[in-house]
Amino acid sequence: MDDKIEKPDGEWRRVLSPEEYHVLREKGTERPFTGKYWNTHGEGVYRCAGCGLELFVSGAKFDSGCGWPSFDAPAAEGAVATQEDGSYGMRRTEVMCPRCGGHLGHVFDDGPTATGLRYCINSAALRFEASRSANISEKGNEKPG
Minimum distance, C-beta of residue 89 to Zn ion, in the bound complex (Å)? 28
| Number of other CB atoms surrounding residue 90 within 10 Å | 8
Would you say 51 or 117 has its CB closer to Zn ion? Answer: 51
Residue 23 binds Zn ion, judged by CB under 5 A: no
User: How many positions of this chain bind Zn ion (CB under 5 A)?
Assistant: 8
Rounded CA gap, 36 and 12, in Å?
20
Residue 50 binds Zn ion, judged by CB under 5 A: yes
Residues 124, 20 contacting (CB under 8 angstroms): yes
Rounded CA gap, 144 and 140, in Å?
9
Minimum distance, C-beta of residue 50 to Zn ion, in the bound complex (Å)? 4
Which positions touch Zn ion (CB under 5 A)? Answer: 48, 50-51, 53, 97, 99-100, 102
Catalytic (active-site) positions: 120
